[in-house]
Amino acid sequence: MRSGSKLRSHQRQPRLPDGLRIYAIGDVHGRADLLERLFGLIDADLARRPTPRALHVMLGDYVDRGPASRAVIDAILARAKCRELVALKGNHDALLLQALDEPTSIGDWLLMHGVETLASYGLTSADGAGSKLSDLGRAFAAALPAEHLEFFRGLKLSFSCGDFFFAHAGVRPGIDLDRQSEKDLLWIRQDFLRHDGDFGKVIVHGHTPVRDVERRRNRIGIDTAAYATGKLTALVIEGNDLRLIDTATAALRAA
Ligand SMILES: [Mn+2]
Protein backbone atom coordinates (compact mmCIF):
# COMPACT_ATOMS: atom_id res chain seq x y z
CA MET A 1 0.00 0.00 0.00
CA ARG A 2 2.66 2.42 1.05
CA SER A 3 4.97 1.51 -1.81
CA GLY A 4 2.00 1.76 -4.19
CA SER A 5 1.25 5.36 -3.23
CA LYS A 6 4.94 6.16 -3.31
CA LEU A 7 5.10 4.79 -6.83
CA ARG A 8 2.11 6.86 -7.86
CA SER A 9 3.56 10.04 -6.39
CA HIS A 10 6.86 9.27 -8.09
CA GLN A 11 5.17 8.86 -11.46
CA ARG A 12 2.95 11.89 -11.08
CA GLN A 13 4.03 14.65 -13.43
CA PRO A 14 4.29 18.20 -12.09
CA ARG A 15 1.30 20.20 -13.31
CA LEU A 16 -0.64 23.44 -13.18
CA PRO A 17 -4.33 23.68 -12.22
CA ASP A 18 -6.69 23.04 -15.16
CA GLY A 19 -7.66 26.03 -17.29
CA LEU A 20 -4.47 27.99 -16.65
CA ARG A 21 -1.54 28.50 -19.01
CA ILE A 22 1.67 30.19 -17.85
CA TYR A 23 4.19 31.88 -20.12
CA ALA A 24 7.39 32.14 -18.04
CA ILE A 25 9.83 34.62 -19.62
CA GLY A 26 13.58 34.62 -18.98
CA ASP A 27 16.12 37.44 -18.47
CA VAL A 28 15.47 40.31 -20.90
CA HIS A 29 18.47 42.53 -19.94
CA GLY A 30 17.65 45.62 -21.94
CA ARG A 31 16.60 43.88 -25.17
CA ALA A 32 13.23 45.56 -25.74
CA ASP A 33 13.37 44.45 -29.38
CA LEU A 34 13.39 40.77 -28.39
CA LEU A 35 10.74 41.25 -25.71
CA GLU A 36 8.35 42.88 -28.21
CA ARG A 37 9.04 40.04 -30.65
CA LEU A 38 8.37 37.43 -27.94
CA PHE A 39 5.11 39.15 -26.93
CA GLY A 40 4.09 38.95 -30.58
CA LEU A 41 4.90 35.22 -30.68
CA ILE A 42 2.87 34.71 -27.48
CA ASP A 43 -0.07 36.61 -29.00
CA ALA A 44 0.10 34.33 -32.05
CA ASP A 45 0.22 31.29 -29.75
CA LEU A 46 -2.84 32.53 -27.85
CA ALA A 47 -4.70 33.11 -31.10
CA ARG A 48 -3.85 29.59 -32.31
CA ARG A 49 -4.61 27.91 -28.99
CA PRO A 50 -7.14 29.88 -26.96
CA THR A 51 -7.13 29.25 -23.19
CA PRO A 52 -9.50 30.33 -20.41
CA ARG A 53 -6.68 32.04 -18.53
CA ALA A 54 -3.12 32.97 -19.52
CA LEU A 55 -0.59 34.37 -17.09
CA HIS A 56 2.80 35.91 -17.94
CA VAL A 57 5.46 35.30 -15.27
CA MET A 58 8.57 37.38 -15.91
CA LEU A 59 11.66 36.09 -14.12
CA GLY A 60 13.52 39.38 -13.55
CA ASP A 61 16.70 41.11 -14.76
CA TYR A 62 14.86 43.54 -17.04
CA VAL A 63 17.71 46.06 -17.02
CA ASP A 64 21.48 46.30 -17.74
CA ARG A 65 23.76 44.85 -20.47
CA GLY A 66 21.39 45.48 -23.41
CA PRO A 67 20.78 49.00 -24.77
CA ALA A 68 17.06 49.57 -24.12
CA SER A 69 16.22 48.99 -20.45
CA ARG A 70 13.83 51.93 -20.31
CA ALA A 71 11.87 50.60 -23.30
CA VAL A 72 11.75 47.14 -21.68
CA ILE A 73 9.96 48.59 -18.65
CA ASP A 74 7.59 50.56 -20.92
CA ALA A 75 6.81 47.35 -22.84
CA ILE A 76 6.08 45.39 -19.65
CA LEU A 77 3.86 48.16 -18.26
CA ALA A 78 1.92 48.27 -21.54
CA ARG A 79 1.63 44.48 -21.60
CA ALA A 80 0.31 44.38 -18.01
CA LYS A 81 -2.61 46.55 -19.11
CA CYS A 82 -3.92 43.90 -21.53
CA ARG A 83 -2.51 40.62 -20.15
CA GLU A 84 -2.34 39.18 -16.66
CA LEU A 85 1.31 39.52 -15.67
CA VAL A 86 3.48 38.83 -12.61
CA ALA A 87 6.93 40.47 -12.59
CA LEU A 88 9.62 38.99 -10.35
CA LYS A 89 12.75 40.77 -9.14
CA GLY A 90 16.23 39.93 -10.46
CA ASN A 91 19.56 40.80 -8.88
CA HIS A 92 20.15 43.57 -11.44
CA ASP A 93 16.75 45.10 -10.65
CA ALA A 94 17.68 44.93 -6.95
CA LEU A 95 20.95 46.81 -7.60
CA LEU A 96 18.98 49.52 -9.41
CA LEU A 97 16.68 49.85 -6.39
CA GLN A 98 19.66 49.95 -4.05
CA ALA A 99 21.20 52.77 -6.09
CA LEU A 100 17.95 54.72 -5.70
CA ASP A 101 17.74 54.14 -1.96
CA GLU A 102 21.42 54.73 -1.33
CA PRO A 103 22.97 56.91 -4.08
CA THR A 104 26.50 56.19 -2.80
CA SER A 105 26.02 52.49 -3.68
CA ILE A 106 25.61 53.24 -7.38
CA GLY A 107 29.20 52.08 -7.98
CA ASP A 108 28.14 48.46 -7.28
CA TRP A 109 25.50 48.76 -9.95
CA LEU A 110 27.78 50.40 -12.53
CA LEU A 111 30.14 47.43 -12.19
CA MET A 112 27.18 45.19 -13.16
CA HIS A 113 26.50 47.07 -16.45
CA GLY A 114 24.19 49.67 -14.89
CA VAL A 115 25.76 52.24 -17.20
CA GLU A 116 23.72 50.94 -20.15
CA THR A 117 20.56 51.37 -18.09
CA LEU A 118 21.51 54.94 -17.11
CA ALA A 119 22.10 55.70 -20.80
CA SER A 120 18.62 54.40 -21.67
CA TYR A 121 17.23 56.98 -19.22
CA GLY A 122 19.25 59.70 -20.91
CA LEU A 123 22.14 59.86 -18.44
CA THR A 124 25.85 59.46 -19.05
CA SER A 125 28.68 59.22 -16.58
CA ALA A 126 29.22 62.93 -17.37
CA ASP A 127 26.14 63.56 -15.22
CA GLY A 128 28.26 62.49 -12.25
CA ALA A 129 31.57 63.80 -13.59
CA GLY A 130 33.47 66.41 -11.66
CA SER A 131 31.45 65.50 -8.63
CA LYS A 132 30.57 62.32 -6.83
CA LEU A 133 28.98 59.07 -7.94
CA SER A 134 26.19 59.87 -5.50
CA ASP A 135 25.26 62.83 -7.75
CA LEU A 136 24.80 60.35 -10.60
CA GLY A 137 22.54 58.32 -8.33
CA ARG A 138 20.46 61.39 -7.58
CA ALA A 139 20.31 62.33 -11.28
CA PHE A 140 19.02 58.82 -12.03
CA ALA A 141 16.34 59.07 -9.33
CA ALA A 142 15.22 62.36 -10.90
CA ALA A 143 15.17 60.88 -14.44
CA LEU A 144 13.19 57.74 -13.53
CA PRO A 145 9.46 58.11 -14.34
CA ALA A 146 7.16 57.61 -11.35
CA GLU A 147 5.47 54.58 -12.94
CA HIS A 148 8.87 52.92 -13.48
CA LEU A 149 9.75 53.48 -9.83
CA GLU A 150 6.41 51.95 -8.86
CA PHE A 151 7.16 48.97 -11.15
CA PHE A 152 10.58 48.30 -9.61
CA ARG A 153 9.25 48.72 -6.06
CA GLY A 154 6.38 46.32 -6.81
CA LEU A 155 8.55 43.44 -8.08
CA LYS A 156 7.91 40.14 -6.29
CA LEU A 157 10.56 37.76 -4.99
CA SER A 158 8.84 34.55 -6.07
CA PHE A 159 5.60 33.12 -7.41
CA SER A 160 4.14 29.69 -6.77
CA CYS A 161 1.39 27.93 -8.72
CA GLY A 162 0.44 24.24 -8.85
CA ASP A 163 3.62 22.14 -8.75
CA PHE A 164 5.84 24.99 -10.00
CA PHE A 165 7.77 27.69 -8.13
CA PHE A 166 9.19 30.67 -10.01
CA ALA A 167 12.17 32.74 -8.84
CA HIS A 168 14.92 34.70 -10.62
CA ALA A 169 17.99 32.71 -9.55
CA GLY A 170 16.72 29.65 -7.68
CA VAL A 171 16.30 28.48 -4.10
CA ARG A 172 18.53 27.22 -1.30
CA PRO A 173 18.25 23.42 -0.83
CA GLY A 174 17.00 22.29 2.60
CA ILE A 175 14.93 25.43 3.26
CA ASP A 176 11.14 25.55 2.76
CA LEU A 177 10.10 27.41 -0.37
CA ASP A 178 8.13 29.95 1.68
CA ARG A 179 11.12 30.67 3.91
CA GLN A 180 13.74 31.47 1.25
CA SER A 181 15.86 34.61 1.66
CA GLU A 182 15.79 37.45 -0.87
CA LYS A 183 19.52 37.02 -1.33
CA ASP A 184 19.18 33.36 -2.36
CA LEU A 185 16.13 33.91 -4.60
CA LEU A 186 17.99 36.66 -6.50
CA TRP A 187 21.62 35.55 -6.48
CA ILE A 188 22.10 31.83 -5.78
CA ARG A 189 24.12 29.77 -8.25
CA GLN A 190 26.03 26.52 -7.68
CA ASP A 191 24.46 25.48 -4.34
CA PHE A 192 21.15 25.44 -6.21
CA LEU A 193 22.26 24.35 -9.69
CA ARG A 194 24.24 21.35 -8.41
CA HIS A 195 21.48 20.08 -6.14
CA ASP A 196 19.89 16.86 -7.42
CA GLY A 197 17.23 16.47 -4.74
CA ASP A 198 13.62 17.52 -4.63
CA PHE A 199 12.82 21.16 -3.79
CA GLY A 200 9.13 20.46 -3.10
CA LYS A 201 8.12 21.97 -6.45
CA VAL A 202 9.81 22.28 -9.85
CA ILE A 203 11.80 25.53 -9.76
CA VAL A 204 11.52 27.66 -12.92
CA HIS A 205 14.40 30.15 -12.96
CA GLY A 206 16.67 32.41 -14.99
CA HIS A 207 19.91 34.16 -13.88
CA THR A 208 22.42 31.56 -15.04
CA PRO A 209 22.78 31.66 -18.84
CA VAL A 210 22.47 28.41 -20.80
CA ARG A 211 22.68 27.81 -24.53
CA ASP A 212 19.47 25.78 -24.51
CA VAL A 213 16.79 25.56 -21.86
CA GLU A 214 18.04 23.29 -19.11
CA ARG A 215 15.31 20.89 -18.11
CA ARG A 216 15.98 18.80 -15.03
CA ARG A 217 13.62 16.78 -12.85
CA ASN A 218 13.75 19.40 -10.06
CA ARG A 219 14.30 22.66 -12.00
CA ILE A 220 14.07 24.35 -15.41
CA GLY A 221 16.56 27.12 -16.32
CA ILE A 222 15.34 29.40 -19.12
CA ASP A 223 17.90 32.24 -19.26
CA THR A 224 19.14 31.82 -22.83
CA ALA A 225 21.34 34.97 -22.58
CA ALA A 226 19.06 37.03 -24.81
CA TYR A 227 21.20 40.17 -24.66
CA ALA A 228 24.12 38.32 -26.28
CA THR A 229 22.46 35.56 -28.33
CA GLY A 230 19.26 37.20 -29.55
CA LYS A 231 17.37 34.24 -28.09
CA LEU A 232 14.76 35.24 -25.52
CA THR A 233 12.81 32.24 -24.30
CA ALA A 234 9.35 31.65 -22.89
CA LEU A 235 8.49 28.36 -21.21
CA VAL A 236 4.82 27.54 -21.75
CA ILE A 237 3.23 25.41 -19.03
CA GLU A 238 -0.28 24.01 -19.26
CA GLY A 239 -1.46 21.04 -17.22
CA ASN A 240 1.62 18.79 -17.25
CA ASP A 241 2.63 19.87 -20.75
CA LEU A 242 5.75 21.98 -21.32
CA ARG A 243 6.53 23.84 -24.55
CA LEU A 244 9.08 26.46 -25.57
CA ILE A 245 8.73 29.63 -27.62
CA ASP A 246 11.87 31.62 -28.41
CA THR A 247 12.82 34.53 -30.63
CA ALA A 248 15.75 32.75 -32.33
CA THR A 249 13.87 29.62 -33.41
CA ALA A 250 10.98 31.75 -34.67
CA ALA A 251 13.44 33.87 -36.71
CA LEU A 252 14.93 30.71 -38.24
CA ARG A 253 11.47 29.51 -39.24
CA ALA A 254 10.68 32.87 -40.80
CA ALA A 255 13.97 32.96 -42.76
MN1 LIG B 1 20.52 37.64 -12.67
Report d(CA 93, CA 50) in Å as an integer.
33
Q: Provide the CA 118 distance to its chain's centre, in angstroms.
A: 20
Going by C-beta distance under 8 Å and a sequence separation of 6 or more, which residues neighbour residue 161?
A: 16, 17, 20, 22, 55
Distance (angstroms) between ligand 1 centre and the Cα of 27 equals: 7
Phi, psi of 105 (to 5 degrees): -85, 5
Q: What's the pLDDT score for residue 124? A: 78
* Domains of the chain and CATH, by start: 18-254 (3.60.21.10)
- Distance (Å) from CA 59 to ligand 1 centroid: 9
Q: What is the DSSP string of 130-145?
A: TS-HHHHHHHHHHHS-
Residue-wise pLDDT for 105-130, tens only, equals: 888 898 888 999 999 999 976 666 55
Q: How far is the CA of 49 from the centre of ligand 1 (A)?
A: 31
pLDDT tens profile 165-184: 999 999 999 999 999 999 99
C-alpha span between 71 and 76 (Å, rounded): 9
Residue 47: strand, helix, or coil: helix
| Per-residue pLDDT, 47 | 97
pTM for this predicted structure: 0.93
DSSP-assigned beta bridge partners for residue 156: 88
Q: Decide if pLDDT at 9 tops 80.
A: no
For the segment 212-221, the average pLDDT, to the nearest whole number, is: 97
3-state SS assignment for residue 2: helix
Q: Are 72 and 28 in contact (CB under 8 A)?
A: yes
As a residue count, the chain comes to 255
How many Å lie between the centroid of ligand 1 and the Cα of residue 93? 9
